[in-house]
Amino acid sequence: MADQVINWLLLLRSGKATAQDYNDFLAWRAADPVHENAWQQLTGTLAGSTFGRLGDAYATGDAAAAQPLIPPPPAIAPARRRFLTGSLALVGAGACAAYVGNAFYPLNNVAADAATATGERRRYVLSDGSQLLLDARSRVNLDFSPAYRQVRLLDGAVTVSVAPDSRRPFLVQTAQGTVRALGTRYMVRQQAQRTVVVVHEHEVEVETMAGAHGTIRAGTGARFDNARIDTPRAELMAEAAWESGWVEARGRPLAEVVAALRPYRSGTLRVSMAAGGLPVSGHFPLDDTDAALDSLRDQMPIQVRRFTPWFVSINVAA
């Protein structure tokens, strides 16, 4: 039974699932209470169909035409599929679910309207023609109505290219407030206790949860929390370097660079407090985190210890 659950999960997230596959999955769950219980043990208690509102988003590959989201597909290699299935047989559905969530695909992403796996950036074309580019391990929900278009950023970062619609404003909602498009392209990242906004074209208007207002113009970025908005600064444009697969650092603390690498690496990547405060400058590849770590080690007084491929610790060099 555990093998069946993980097979369904991986098929539906493979990018190759058809509408018939999705209908077969729903029929499998409804056919036997044991099936439903096994699914809930793996994915947690999720409402409804478990895959969110799928009507407003379509996933696109690099050159492929848009295809319906059934549901948002991360790329999981066949070797990973075999590894996950073997783990289920050995340690049971609960342990495998934890491993899948931590290493490859966060299980809370299953309920999101659009989401990405570890190491994945993915573009989505919405029903109004707007486009979303999601950073690795990011998730959003969509709320499109006759009065507005809203993207709820739950985790990670999203870059929005807004299609014009004079009747419906385009909003990105975070835990700290709302970013309203007054132009076409901007990036929003959800961080702990704050939001980062970077504007590529035109400008955006920010309203915090406490009601503070501010405008951020093209070529600048700003952070805001529940109550206040920082002064926009050009140097925050580096926060959007992930869009092209890089971490850009100009005197940034090592802890921030490591935080940018984590969504692109399966397993645990730790940095000590002493090492985390060291300033970093340079460009580091997100799609090859081992190379990024080696480059950091070569240019900084740090020690990078790889205990296993899934556990790396960074400390100040002795």
Q: Whole-angstrom Cα distance, residue 124 to residue 127? A: 10
141 with 199, same domain?
Answer: yes
- The pTM of this model reads 0.71
In a domain, 255, yes or no: yes
186 with 230, same domain?
Answer: yes
Q: What is the pLDDT of residue 66?
A: 36
Q: What is the pLDDT of residue 154?
A: 96
178 with 277, same domain?
Answer: no
43 with 141, same domain?
Answer: no
Other C-beta atoms closer than 10 Å to the C-beta of 260 total 24
Q: Write out the E strands in 47-184.
A: 57-60, 67-68, 114-115, 122-126, 131-134, 139-144, 149-155, 157-161, 170-173, 177-181
224 with 140, same domain?
Answer: yes
How many domains are there within the chain?
3
37 with 81, same domain?
Answer: yes
In a domain, 147, yes or no: yes
Q: Whole-angstrom Cα distance, residue 306 to residue 128? A: 46
CA 278-219-206 angle, to 5 degrees, is: 90
Q: What is the pLDDT of residue 45?
A: 37
In a domain, 61, yes or no: no
155 with 90, same domain?
Answer: no
| Type of residue found at 28 | W
Q: What is the pLDDT of residue 106?
A: 66
Question: What digits encode the pLDDT tens for the residues 97-126?
Answer: 555 555 556 656 667 899 999 999 999 999
The residue from 180, 210, 236 where one domain ends is 236
pLDDT lower than 50: segments of the chain? 45-56, 58, 61-78, 80, 90-91
Domain that includes residue 206, residue range: 122-236
Q: Whole-angstrom Cα distance, residue 9 to residue 41? A: 13
125 close to 58: Cβ distance less than 8 angstroms: yes
Structure tokens at 296: 């950091």
Q: Whole-angstrom Cα distance, residue 94 to residue 165? A: 46
Phi/psi-derived region of residue 106, left when phi > 0, alpha when psi is between -120 and 50, beta in every other case: beta
Other C-beta atoms closer than 10 Å to the C-beta of 183 total 15
Q: What is the pLDDT of residue 303?
A: 96
Q: What is the pLDDT of residue 124?
A: 96
The residue from 236, 257, 274 where one domain ends is 236
232 with 298, same domain?
Answer: no
Structure tokens at 57: 């988003």
297 with 254, same domain?
Answer: yes
The residue from 236, 257, 285 where one domain ends is 236
DSSP letters spanning 134-170:
EPTT-EEEEEE-SS-EEEEEEESEEEEEPPP-TTS-E
185 with 153, same domain?
Answer: yes
267 with 203, same domain?
Answer: no
Residue bearing tokens 């056919």: 31
What phi and psi, each to the nearest 5 degrees, are found at residue 178? Answer: -125, 135
Q: What is the pLDDT of residue 253?
A: 96
